[in-house]
Structure 1
Amino acid sequence: MKNRKPIVDLVVDVGTLGTHMVVCTFVGLAMGYYLDKWLGTKPVMLLIFLFIGIAAGFKNVYEQAQRLQRRTEMPDDKDNSED
């Protein structure tokens, strides 16, 4: 049972990568839609905030992947230094 915890943690962390991308994109899309509705600038704000949301999603995915990579490499470095 102890061996399954790192696997479950890894699956959860990988699942958050996709969630970051989807949530950021939809938040940008929603912000652009409501700003267009409020300001009367039909597709302009929607497109701008959609691209901002996509860029933010990629940034979050990249940062999460870096954290995940550092965390998975740490135990290997400890084991190699003890040899």
Structure 2
Amino acid sequence: MKLSDALSTYISKEILEETSSKIGIKEELLSSGIVDSIGMMRIVRFVEKTYKINVPFEDMTIENFMTIEAISNYVSKKLDKN
């Protein structure tokens, strides 16, 4: 499963508790209200556990976590460094 698909599925099922909705990879998660700050922390935890990476506090920025696309790019870069 692609990283962006895994993130979209996780957000839909675990945070929004919907099984039929699909979130676009370019949709803004926080500013649109799709995800709140607690939901964002859950996403960070999911990323850390699933991909076995550490997301330091200074990396928890809008640029890295604004959209599914941004999160996917961030995780991919972290995985490439390992």
Structure with more helix by fraction = 1
TM-score (norm 2): 0.27
- TM-score normalized by structure 1? 0.27
